[in-house]
Amino acid sequence: MTVQETVEKAISRVLNENVSICGCSRTDTGVHANSYCFNLKTEREIPTRNFIRGVNGYLPDDISILSCEEVDEAFHARFDCLGKEYVYKMHCSESKNPFAPDMMLHYRRKFNTELAMSAAEPLIGTHDFKSFCGNCTTVSTTIRTIYDISIESSGDIVIILVKGNGFLYNMIRIIVGTLIWVNEGKISADDIPSILTAKNRLKAGKTALPHGLYLNRVFYGQESLNELYSRSSKQEVLYGKL
Protein backbone atom coordinates (compact mmCIF):
# COMPACT_ATOMS: atom_id res chain seq x y z
CA MET A 1 0.00 0.00 0.00
CA THR A 2 1.49 3.32 -1.09
CA VAL A 3 0.57 6.96 -0.53
CA GLN A 4 -0.12 7.35 -4.26
CA GLU A 5 -2.46 4.38 -4.33
CA THR A 6 -4.34 5.67 -1.29
CA VAL A 7 -4.71 9.17 -2.77
CA GLU A 8 -5.81 7.84 -6.17
CA LYS A 9 -8.51 5.68 -4.58
CA ALA A 10 -9.86 8.64 -2.60
CA ILE A 11 -9.89 10.94 -5.64
CA SER A 12 -11.54 8.28 -7.79
CA ARG A 13 -14.36 7.96 -5.28
CA VAL A 14 -14.94 11.73 -5.26
CA LEU A 15 -14.79 12.12 -9.06
CA ASN A 16 -16.51 8.81 -9.76
CA GLU A 17 -13.88 7.88 -12.35
CA ASN A 18 -10.57 6.06 -12.33
CA VAL A 19 -7.78 8.58 -11.76
CA SER A 20 -4.01 8.42 -12.13
CA ILE A 21 -1.93 11.21 -10.61
CA CYS A 22 1.41 12.60 -11.81
CA GLY A 23 3.64 13.34 -8.84
CA CYS A 24 6.45 15.88 -8.56
CA SER A 25 8.98 13.22 -7.55
CA ARG A 26 9.46 9.68 -6.28
CA THR A 27 10.32 9.13 -2.63
CA ASP A 28 11.82 6.18 -0.79
CA THR A 29 9.80 4.09 1.64
CA GLY A 30 9.85 5.79 5.03
CA VAL A 31 10.44 9.33 3.70
CA HIS A 32 7.86 12.00 4.61
CA ALA A 33 6.52 15.12 2.88
CA ASN A 34 5.44 18.39 4.44
CA SER A 35 4.48 19.45 0.93
CA TYR A 36 4.07 17.23 -2.12
CA CYS A 37 2.53 18.30 -5.43
CA PHE A 38 0.75 16.27 -8.10
CA ASN A 39 -1.50 16.94 -11.04
CA LEU A 40 -4.39 15.03 -12.58
CA LYS A 41 -6.82 15.39 -15.47
CA THR A 42 -10.55 14.82 -15.09
CA GLU A 43 -13.74 15.22 -17.10
CA ARG A 44 -15.62 16.05 -13.91
CA GLU A 45 -16.37 19.70 -13.14
CA ILE A 46 -15.86 20.27 -9.44
CA PRO A 47 -14.94 23.40 -7.44
CA THR A 48 -11.46 23.16 -5.97
CA ARG A 49 -12.84 23.74 -2.46
CA ASN A 50 -15.19 20.79 -2.82
CA PHE A 51 -12.35 18.66 -4.18
CA ILE A 52 -10.24 19.31 -1.07
CA ARG A 53 -13.08 18.58 1.33
CA GLY A 54 -14.28 15.52 -0.55
CA VAL A 55 -10.90 13.83 -0.95
CA ASN A 56 -9.85 14.54 2.64
CA GLY A 57 -13.03 12.83 3.76
CA TYR A 58 -11.75 9.54 2.33
CA LEU A 59 -8.09 9.85 3.34
CA PRO A 60 -6.51 8.39 6.49
CA ASP A 61 -5.24 10.69 9.23
CA ASP A 62 -1.63 10.67 7.99
CA ILE A 63 -2.43 12.06 4.51
CA SER A 64 -4.09 15.42 3.81
CA ILE A 65 -4.86 17.53 0.74
CA LEU A 66 -3.70 21.06 1.59
CA SER A 67 -4.65 23.01 -1.52
CA CYS A 68 -5.93 22.65 -5.07
CA GLU A 69 -6.01 24.87 -8.14
CA GLU A 70 -6.79 24.61 -11.81
CA VAL A 71 -3.79 24.80 -14.14
CA ASP A 72 -3.08 24.83 -17.84
CA GLU A 73 -3.64 21.45 -19.47
CA ALA A 74 0.06 21.24 -20.37
CA PHE A 75 1.17 21.57 -16.73
CA HIS A 76 3.16 18.65 -15.28
CA ALA A 77 4.01 18.48 -11.57
CA ARG A 78 7.39 16.90 -12.22
CA PHE A 79 8.66 18.56 -15.38
CA ASP A 80 7.47 22.08 -14.49
CA CYS A 81 9.14 21.96 -11.08
CA LEU A 82 11.98 24.50 -10.77
CA GLY A 83 13.45 23.14 -7.56
CA LYS A 84 12.85 21.39 -4.26
CA GLU A 85 13.67 21.90 -0.62
CA TYR A 86 14.28 19.01 1.78
CA VAL A 87 14.82 18.93 5.51
CA TYR A 88 16.41 16.15 7.54
CA LYS A 89 15.56 15.90 11.24
CA MET A 90 17.81 14.38 13.88
CA HIS A 91 17.20 13.83 17.57
CA CYS A 92 20.67 13.89 19.11
CA SER A 93 20.48 12.36 22.57
CA GLU A 94 21.41 9.18 24.40
CA SER A 95 17.71 8.83 25.27
CA LYS A 96 15.20 8.18 22.51
CA ASN A 97 12.22 10.43 21.84
CA PRO A 98 9.13 8.21 22.31
CA PHE A 99 6.95 10.69 20.42
CA ALA A 100 8.95 10.56 17.18
CA PRO A 101 10.36 7.05 16.59
CA ASP A 102 9.58 7.18 12.87
CA MET A 103 9.81 10.96 12.38
CA MET A 104 13.46 11.73 13.23
CA LEU A 105 16.79 9.96 13.12
CA HIS A 106 17.80 9.02 16.66
CA TYR A 107 21.49 9.88 16.83
CA ARG A 108 23.10 9.02 20.16
CA ARG A 109 25.93 11.55 19.96
CA LYS A 110 26.28 15.30 20.11
CA PHE A 111 26.23 16.83 16.64
CA ASN A 112 28.68 19.65 15.90
CA THR A 113 26.64 21.91 13.62
CA GLU A 114 29.54 24.30 12.95
CA LEU A 115 31.81 21.45 11.85
CA ALA A 116 29.04 19.96 9.70
CA MET A 117 28.34 23.33 8.09
CA SER A 118 32.00 23.79 7.22
CA ALA A 119 31.88 20.40 5.51
CA ALA A 120 28.63 21.23 3.71
CA GLU A 121 29.72 24.59 2.27
CA PRO A 122 31.72 23.06 -0.65
CA LEU A 123 28.57 21.23 -1.75
CA ILE A 124 26.75 24.49 -2.48
CA GLY A 125 26.85 25.38 -6.16
CA THR A 126 26.81 23.39 -9.38
CA HIS A 127 28.76 20.13 -9.18
CA ASP A 128 28.86 16.57 -10.40
CA PHE A 129 27.27 14.72 -7.46
CA LYS A 130 27.99 11.20 -8.67
CA SER A 131 29.71 10.42 -5.35
CA PHE A 132 26.41 11.23 -3.64
CA CYS A 133 24.15 9.11 -5.84
CA GLY A 134 22.86 5.69 -4.79
CA ASN A 135 22.07 4.59 -8.35
CA CYS A 136 23.10 6.72 -11.33
CA THR A 137 22.08 4.31 -14.09
CA THR A 138 18.67 5.92 -14.65
CA VAL A 139 19.80 9.54 -15.15
CA SER A 140 21.44 11.22 -18.13
CA THR A 141 23.61 13.49 -15.96
CA THR A 142 24.68 13.61 -12.33
CA ILE A 143 25.28 17.36 -12.40
CA ARG A 144 22.99 19.24 -10.02
CA THR A 145 22.89 22.67 -8.36
CA ILE A 146 22.48 23.15 -4.62
CA TYR A 147 21.40 26.70 -3.76
CA ASP A 148 21.48 26.41 0.01
CA ILE A 149 22.45 24.11 2.86
CA SER A 150 21.62 25.24 6.40
CA ILE A 151 22.23 23.31 9.62
CA GLU A 152 20.71 24.52 12.88
CA SER A 153 20.02 23.07 16.30
CA SER A 154 17.51 23.72 19.06
CA GLY A 155 18.09 21.65 22.16
CA ASP A 156 18.52 18.05 21.08
CA ILE A 157 16.96 18.64 17.64
CA VAL A 158 19.14 19.23 14.57
CA ILE A 159 17.58 20.33 11.28
CA ILE A 160 19.52 20.07 8.01
CA LEU A 161 17.93 21.98 5.12
CA VAL A 162 18.99 21.45 1.50
CA LYS A 163 17.58 23.42 -1.43
CA GLY A 164 18.39 22.74 -5.09
CA ASN A 165 17.21 22.46 -8.66
CA GLY A 166 16.94 18.67 -8.40
CA PHE A 167 18.36 15.70 -6.56
CA LEU A 168 19.75 12.29 -7.44
CA TYR A 169 18.62 9.00 -5.93
CA ASN A 170 19.44 9.01 -2.19
CA MET A 171 21.44 12.23 -2.65
CA ILE A 172 20.15 14.02 0.45
CA ARG A 173 20.47 10.93 2.63
CA ILE A 174 24.06 10.38 1.46
CA ILE A 175 24.91 14.02 2.15
CA VAL A 176 23.50 13.66 5.66
CA GLY A 177 25.32 10.35 6.16
CA THR A 178 28.57 12.00 5.05
CA LEU A 179 28.06 14.86 7.51
CA ILE A 180 27.47 12.29 10.24
CA TRP A 181 30.78 10.66 9.34
CA VAL A 182 32.44 14.08 9.52
CA ASN A 183 30.95 14.52 12.98
CA GLU A 184 32.38 11.13 14.00
CA GLY A 185 35.84 11.86 12.56
CA LYS A 186 35.62 9.15 9.87
CA ILE A 187 35.85 11.83 7.18
CA SER A 188 37.46 15.26 7.47
CA ALA A 189 35.48 18.36 6.56
CA ASP A 190 38.37 19.20 4.23
CA ASP A 191 37.79 15.93 2.32
CA ILE A 192 34.48 17.02 0.77
CA PRO A 193 35.95 18.71 -2.37
CA SER A 194 38.01 15.59 -3.17
CA ILE A 195 34.97 13.37 -2.59
CA LEU A 196 33.07 15.45 -5.16
CA THR A 197 35.96 15.25 -7.62
CA ALA A 198 36.28 11.46 -7.20
CA LYS A 199 32.78 10.81 -8.63
CA ASN A 200 32.82 7.58 -6.65
CA ARG A 201 30.01 6.59 -4.29
CA LEU A 202 32.43 4.62 -2.11
CA LYS A 203 34.28 7.83 -1.17
CA ALA A 204 31.26 9.45 0.49
CA GLY A 205 29.62 8.49 3.79
CA LYS A 206 26.78 6.13 4.57
CA THR A 207 23.20 6.57 3.43
CA ALA A 208 21.25 8.01 6.37
CA LEU A 209 18.00 6.29 7.32
CA PRO A 210 14.89 7.48 5.43
CA HIS A 211 12.57 8.40 8.29
CA GLY A 212 14.40 11.66 9.09
CA LEU A 213 13.91 13.03 5.58
CA TYR A 214 11.06 15.33 4.51
CA LEU A 215 10.25 16.89 1.15
CA ASN A 216 9.54 20.35 2.51
CA ARG A 217 8.70 22.58 -0.46
CA VAL A 218 8.35 22.37 -4.22
CA PHE A 219 8.91 25.50 -6.35
CA TYR A 220 6.88 26.46 -9.42
CA GLY A 221 6.67 29.62 -11.51
CA GLN A 222 9.10 32.46 -12.09
CA GLU A 223 7.82 34.29 -9.01
CA SER A 224 9.27 31.52 -6.81
CA LEU A 225 12.83 31.82 -8.14
CA ASN A 226 14.02 34.46 -5.65
CA GLU A 227 12.87 32.31 -2.77
CA LEU A 228 14.45 29.23 -4.31
CA TYR A 229 17.83 30.94 -4.79
CA SER A 230 17.93 32.69 -1.39
CA ARG A 231 19.79 31.44 1.68
CA SER A 232 17.61 30.42 4.61
CA SER A 233 17.67 32.11 8.01
CA LYS A 234 17.96 30.19 11.28
CA GLN A 235 14.37 31.05 12.19
CA GLU A 236 13.15 29.77 8.83
CA VAL A 237 15.09 26.51 9.09
CA LEU A 238 13.96 25.63 12.60
CA TYR A 239 10.40 26.89 12.65
CA GLY A 240 9.05 28.82 9.69
CA LYS A 241 8.90 26.01 7.13
CA LEU A 242 8.26 22.98 9.36
**Which residues are catalytically annotated?**
28
One DSSP character per residue, the chain reads --HHHHHHHHHHHHHTS----EES----TT-EESS--EE---S----HHHHHHHHHTTS-TT----------TT--TTTT--EEEEEEEEEESSS--TT-TTTSEEE-S---HHHHHHHHGGGSEEEE-GGG-S--TT-S--EEEEEEEEEEEETTEEEEEEEES---TTHHHHHHHHHHHHHTTSS-GGGHHHHHHHT-GGGS-----GGGEEEEEEE-SGGGHHHHHSPPPHHIIIIIT-
